[in-house]
Amino acid sequence: MPRAADSICFLAGDTPMARSAAARLVALYGNHPPDRADVVVALGGDGFMLQTLHRFMGTGIPIYGMNQGTIGFLMNEFRETDLHARLAAAVENEIRPLEMIATDSDGEEHRALAINEVSIFRQSYQAARLRILIDGKVRMEELICDGVMVATPTGSTAYNLSAQGPIIPMDAPLLALTPVSAFRPRRWRGALIPNQRTVVIETLEPEKRPVNAVADHTEVKSVLKVSIHESRTARSLVLFDQDHSWDERILAEQFRY
């Protein structure tokens, strides 16, 4: 069933190209405040799209990205014509973010949401030394590495893919647990985790080998423990053109060589 797409809110990233594109579209279609819009159209790259999805998380307002950046994996092709028809026919996907609870060296808890991934990285020249638990059970007693991440299906084609992690279809009930430059065990390439599980990563030797935790754009320094699970309540809605759906992009990405 086609969605209402009469009222559009245009938002642009902080580049001349994106701002110019927004000005042209506003002249053609008008512009509405976000709280009165049927759809938000985000003009920029994947980074700006990620910011927009965070901003409107939980509002029920779908976000339709048009690429005015570089890679644009989360974006649709930029075209000025027939926008109302494209929006009405677009395929809607629901994104559930990860919830991160990071405990720092002072014992303070920091909470953040991540649409792409939660990452733990070494803070100094020494490799991180970590312990990994799944639902309270130790699954890896010691991982020595530059870092490790838990990625959503949305984030599986981002940093996770660069770290040789698996690509996950949008509707798969899985999370990717992927190491970054694992030294010991050297041949461990990560794991696929059911999305209802809770992953806890503990820092071993935190004073000698400090690590930071990052949930998308939120960074916490000198963490002792990070708990990660898929949110049961928060969600974002993203729209893709029918002829260039998320499923098609995932399939195409897996056959690149």
- Tell me the CATH number at 42: 3.40.50.10330
Q: How confident is the model at residue 115 (pLDDT cuts 50, 70, 90)?
A: very high
Q: Are residues 72 and 161 located together in one domain of the fold? A: no
Give the pLDDT of residue 77: 94
Q: Is residue 178 part of a domain?
A: yes
Q: How confident is the model at residue 2 (pLDDT cuts 50, 70, 90)?
A: low
Out of 14, 35, 38, 46, pick the active-site residue. Answer: 46
Give the pLDDT of residue 67: 95
Lowest mean pLDDT among 32-41, 128-137, 164-173, 237-246: 237-246
Q: Are residues 107 and 201 located together in one domain of the fold? A: yes
Higher pLDDT, 248 or 214: 214
Q: How confident is the model at residue 248 (pLDDT cuts 50, 70, 90)?
A: confident
Q: Is residue 33 part of a domain?
A: yes
* Full domain range(s) for residue 31: 8-95+235-254
Give the pLDDT of residue 25: 97
Domain total of the chain: 2
Q: Are residues 223 and 244 located together in one domain of the fold? A: no
Mean pLDDT for all residues in the chain:
93
Give the C-alpha separation, 216 to 151, whole Å.
Answer: 10
Q: Are residues 155 and 182 located together in one domain of the fold? A: yes
* C-alpha pair distances (Å), 140 with each of 92, 144, 198: 37, 11, 14
The mean pLDDT value for 202-229 works out to: 96
User: Residue 118 corresponds to which tokens in the numbers above?
Assistant: 């939660």
**Binding-site annotation: residue ranges:** 46-47, 116-117, 146, 157-162
Contact 50, 28 (CB under 8 A): no
Q: Are residues 57 and 171 located together in one domain of the fold? A: no
**Binding-site annotation: residue ranges for NAD(+):** 46-47, 116-117, 146, 157-162
Q: Are residues 105 and 193 located together in one domain of the fold? A: yes
Q: Are residues 218 and 124 located together in one domain of the fold? A: yes
Q: How confident is the model at residue 73 (pLDDT cuts 50, 70, 90)?
A: confident
Give the pLDDT of residue 257: 66
Q: How confident is the model at residue 255 (pLDDT cuts 50, 70, 90)?
A: confident
Q: Is residue 3 part of a domain?
A: no
Judged against a pLDDT cut of 70, whether residue 232 lies above it is answered with yes
Q: Is residue 2 part of a domain?
A: no
- Active site includes 46? yes
Summarised one tens digit per residue, pLDDT across range 118-171 is: 999 999 999 999 999 999 999 999 999 999 999 999 999 899 999 999 999 888
- Model confidence, pTM: 0.90
Q: Are residues 36 and 61 located together in one domain of the fold? A: yes
Residues 6+ apart with CB under 8 A from 210: 105, 122, 123, 124, 203, 221, 222
Bridge partners (DSSP) listed for residue 177: 150, 191
Higher pLDDT, 66 or 243: 66
Contact 157, 164 (CB under 8 A): no
Q: Are residues 109 and 206 located together in one domain of the fold? A: yes
